[in-house]
């Protein structure tokens, strides 16, 4: 019963987040030129101030501008303002956008990667820098094999690890294989 309640709560949170993202997307679509770049500068300034207050060097913090559902024109605007690190949730979108944008963009795939999308992701995004995050051993193995087969440089990945042993569905890698996963990719 606890697992079912946990799953229902997770779905409620996910629906709430999706509603927020949809509202923000609609608002962003109505925005005029320059707004995205201005917003990014504001975020960067606040992050740098927070870093300085905490004693961290601001240049050690990487800001990933999530471009999910945003048109290429908005991404280009942020790129032209000097930002080079972008994240995308869907393989099809990152592939389409990477083909239309400069090669010096550092792309992060931040969605749920499915096994059948590994090859299109690697083939379609030559400047893919990171996968955030892996939650399945089979996909980690496939990603590793495809990187080797395609002669790509090693890819940075973040791995979701369930260290508590509690059941969370398919959202986290079990500790039993996380160490081998880290050596693969």
Based on the structure, what is the number of domains in the chain? 1
List CB contacts of 127: < 8 A, sequence separation 6 or more. Answer: 98, 103, 104, 105, 106, 107
Q: Does a structural domain hold residue 134?
A: yes
pTM, 2 dp: 0.72
The CATH number of whichever domain residue 142 belongs to comes to 3.20.20.10
- For residue 87, give both structure tokens: 């994240």
**Which CA distances in Å does 121 have to 5, 55, 94, 96, 137?**
34, 37, 8, 10, 18
Q: Which residue has the higher pLDDT, 140 or 8?
A: 140
Give per-residue pLDDT as tens, 84-116: 999 999 999 999 999 999 999 999 999 889 999
User: For residue 131, is pLDDT > 70?
Assistant: yes
Give per-residue pLDDT as tens, 44-71: 999 999 999 999 998 889 899 998 889 9
Give per-residue pLDDT as tens, 9-28: 766 766 555 555 454 554 44
Residue 56 is given by DSSP the state: -
Q: Does a structural domain hold residue 88?
A: yes
Q: Does a structural domain hold residue 95?
A: yes
Q: Does a structural domain hold residue 5?
A: no
Give the strand pairing for 173-174 and 161-162: parallel
The whole domain housing 170 covers: 61-184
> Average model confidence (pLDDT) for the chain?
81
Q: Does a structural domain hold residue 108?
A: yes
């Amino acid at each position: 019963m606890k697992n079912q309640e946990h799953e229902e709560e997770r779905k409620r949170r996910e629906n709430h987040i999706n509603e927020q993202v949809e509202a923000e997307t609609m608002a962003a679509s109505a925005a005029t030129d320059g707004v995205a770049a201005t917003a990014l500068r504001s975020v960067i300034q606040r992050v740098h101030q927070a870093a300085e207050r905490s004693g961290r060097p601001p240049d050690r913090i990487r800001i990933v501008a999530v471009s999910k559902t945003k048109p290429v024109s908005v991404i280009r605007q942020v790129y032209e303002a000097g930002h080079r690190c972008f994240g995308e949730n869907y393989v099809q979108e990152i592939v389409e956008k990477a083909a239309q944008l400069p090669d010096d963009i550092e792309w992060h795939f931040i969605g749920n990667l499915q096994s059948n999308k590994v090859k299109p992701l690697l083939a379609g995004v030559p400047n893919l820098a990171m996968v955030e995050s892996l939650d399945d051993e089979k996909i980690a193995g496939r990603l590793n094999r495809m990187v080797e087969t395609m002669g790509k440089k090693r890819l940075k990945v973040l791995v979701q690890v369930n260290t508590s042993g509690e059941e969370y569905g398919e959202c986290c890698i079990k500790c039993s294989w996380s160490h081998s996963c880290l050596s693969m990719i």
